[in-house]
C-alpha cells in the first residue's frame, strides 16, 4: 500500500496531490518575487550612489 500511495501522487495527481502541489508552487513564487524586488531596489540604490560618488569626485577634481 505504501508503494501505491507513493506512485499515485507522482504519476496520477489525485485531489490531495493537486492541493499539495499548488501551495508549494505558490509559496516559492511569493518568496522569489520579494527578493527580486529587494535586489532591484538595492541595485538601483547602488547605481544612484555610484553616480553621486562620481559627481562628488568630479566636483572635487574640478575645484
Polymer length of the chain? 63
Q: Which residues contact 8 (CB under 8 A, 6 or more apart)?
A: 14, 17
Q: Given this model, what pLDDT does residue 61 score?
A: 86
Task: Report the predicted TM-score, pTM, of the whole model to 2 decimal places.
Answer: 0.40
Q: Given this model, what pLDDT does residue 37 score?
A: 82
Please give the grid coordinates belonging to residue 35: 527578493
Q: Given this model, what pLDDT does residue 9 score?
A: 47
Q: Could you report the average pLDDT of every consecutive run of 10 residues in the chain (63 residues)?
A: 50 52 53 72 95 92 79
pLDDT in tens, 9-19: 455 555 555 54
Amino acid at each position: 500500500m505504501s508503494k501505491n500511495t507513493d506512485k499515485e501522487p507522482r504519476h496520477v495527481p489525485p485531489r490531495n496531490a493537486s492541493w499539495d502541489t499548488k501551495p508549494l508552487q505558490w509559496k516559492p513564487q511569493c518568496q522569489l518575487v520579494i527578493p527580486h524586488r529587494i535586489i532591484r531596489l538595492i541595485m538601483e540604490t547602488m547605481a544612484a550612489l555610484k553616480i553621486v560618488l562620481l559627481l562628488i569626485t568630479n566636483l572635487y577634481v574640478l575645484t
